[in-house]
Structure 1
């Protein structure tokens, strides 16, 4: 099952005096869908899901579902290192209207590959929604081995993998397993061209919060004109590099603030960018848009 092809966005969560700014969130969802996003991913790393309470998380899901009105799938990050708690929350997210859930590998009390299979299988079977596995070892110090992906992909609810390893050898190993109807999405904006070259189905993007149409155009162009897709990517690459100036989502939050979809606030332990770093990002954005 392919939930989408092309670019999904890991949407930021705006705050206002410490509270979630739901009105601005709705405007951002509408902007993203109007500009070609194939799916909206809510309550992930970029959305600061780890510092949202359950009421806030469910409200954001409900609003994303309402604004989308069936135009694109709403995927929600519900994974944690507590299997029972993940099931409980995922069932509430399902009731709120989510189309799919994304599950990160357990962190801190990390397990082994057998434990991953048991963890993900228990959640998928209990929730009965499409599941995107999320492999991001840089944040969890745990990886989903290709053979484990193969076993998990035999579950009818586990339909995709977000691969944030940045390792094309890993992607090739997963592709070689010959998993039909199992989608592979990049979790790294800076490597989408080699990801597409190896048969990837799309990307769950950070930079697309600010340049959604442009990032989707790279995917659409690649199918017919890889050289032109590379040119489009090379043009946006300096902006992607600028967003690496500090830990995600602090840089993208600064950029979407410039666009009116946040006001610079993040929640601790994150802190706002230094002014000099914000300037670097804003200058890169202006240069990309031809405004410099």
Structure 2
């Protein structure tokens, strides 16, 4: 583990840029960027276009370590290059931004009010490649839709089981048990989930370090006790479908919680913008998300 990156993640000010749209979410990300599906006919063409979009974001003068701690990458992006450097190396060596890798393969069907992760075949090989490519940590997402104690326990058990394996491989896992912001019993989901998280934290080996990526809680400061756990490097928040303005407003009311936004970060960016228009829009987004993350 890179100790400079660990120190920055633990103590630095800023937020995490989530640039990890995968096969299932890439068409929507491209559409929001102004590229419709009639512009590509194969997955390779689609991934080329989204890499161009990510490269434009990462190389923007506004995308700097002054405001951004880390960026989450899709596996396809990890294997590609920006200015003749592998993406993770460009992020850290040129921008001073920590590279993180999405490792999950999407969501299984809903059962017991939750959607766990699909199996992750070849995880050991992926983690080995991630280390070779100087990745700091990983991220994996599952979703909680209802306050079903059995289902929520299943989600947290799965997250910690795989997270411990990732930590043992020398990477920092970000556990992401997202709670659907439209759940009718979101606050109860949060209560049940936090109790399960605390049970697992109490059983972790002393030297194991992890992070959490969570939906912004209804109760301000709800995850403060999780942040204080010695195993937890950072707790970050996903935007979860809120607009950037609403996500920032909610985030600013939760001390210690920082952003890890995807759609909210890229909101307003368009393929047809000039370099100046694109950079100004991105700079405004970054400024707003940063300010909400440090309050």
TM-score between the two structures when normalised by the length of structure 1: 0.49
Structure 1 or 2: more strand by fraction: 2
Structure 1 or 2: more helix by fraction: 1
TM-score between the two structures when normalised by the length of structure 2: 0.49
